[in-house]
Amino acid sequence: MIVVTANRVAGKRIARTLGLVRGNTIRTRHLGKDIMAVLRNIVGGEVAEYTKLLAESREQALDRMVDEAHELGANAIVSLRFSTSMIMGAAAELLAYGTAVVLEDEEDGAR
């Protein structure tokens, strides 16, 4: 599955547009990780606990979006975007969305 933030893929043409696909996850913070983050805030530096949490969230949202595109028969997703929103004080949603399409080689469509 090709997944790009661009509206097109070089060397390919969009043969069919199948529609919006999305995947999301809602994550909450962990008390132990919050304590480590507060301590890291005092001394400075990257908050690795939150970096890892967000990376895992992005991957899960992407995987769910790709699964939805596969169900539609897509071989690519164009115009990928991410969005986040707070659900409550300690929970946030991460949403991945894009357009499921069927791509063909540009030369195949010219015949």
User: What band does 27 get if pLDDT is binned at 50, 70 and 90?
Assistant: confident
The pair of three-digit structure tokens given for residue 102, joined into one six-digit string? 């069927």
DSSP annotation string for 17-33: EEEEEEEEEEEE--HHH
In the predicted model, is pLDDT for residue 98 greater than 70?
Answer: yes
Q: Is the dihedral of CA 73, 75, 80, 84 positive or negative?
A: positive
Give me the chain's average pLDDT, please: 87
Distance CA 87, CA 28 (A): 9
The pair of three-digit structure tokens given for residue 43, joined into one six-digit string? 């001394």
DSSP annotation string for 65-92: HHHHHHHHT-SEEEEEEEEEEEEETTEE
Residue 101 has what pLDDT?
A: 98
pLDDT in tens, 33-69: 666 666 666 766 777 777 888 899 999 999 999 999 9
The size of the chain, in residues, is: 111
User: What band does 73 get if pLDDT is binned at 50, 70 and 90?
Assistant: very high
Model's pTM, two decimal places?
A: 0.81
Residue 99 has what pLDDT?
A: 98
Structural domains in the chain, sorted by start: 2-109 (3.30.110.70)
